[in-house]
Amino acid sequence: MLHSRETSQKYISRIAVRTNDYWLMKTFCLNGLGIALLPDFFVQPEVKSGGLVAILPDWKPEKKKIYCVYQRNRYGSKKLRAFLNLLTESMSDIDRLNNYTASILPRTRKS
């Protein structure tokens, strides 16, 4: 389901290649091998540089929740609490991080 300010629309994609690897999807797109639905923070550097173009910028997919699973008796652990705090801070700051830059693969000539 995609959502805009005014409406929601169910979409059905016709997939030639299926992967759960965002890096692979982004690399395919950078090399002109298709389109992909990728998180904004993950493609921000490539969109700013013009390597990728947002096709439907006003439409967004449904938000997904992230869960952290741990043993109940470890909830009071200082290490677990520190990890959960780091995870929460990292997710709230993810839009300003630019550690996800990819590059276009060099083209090889066929002889």
Domain span including residue 81? 2-96
3-state secondary structure 63-74: CCCCCCCCCHHH
51-104 pLDDT, tens digit each: 999 988 888 888 878 888 888 776 678 888 898 888 888 877 776 666 666 666
Position 105 in a domain: no
89-103 pLDDT, tens digit each: 887 777 666 666 666
Position 41 in a domain: yes
Position 35 in a domain: yes
CA distances from 57 to 36, 37, 81 (A): 13, 11, 37
Position 106 in a domain: no
The count of structural domains within the chain is: 1
Position 23 in a domain: yes
pTM metric for this prediction? 0.63
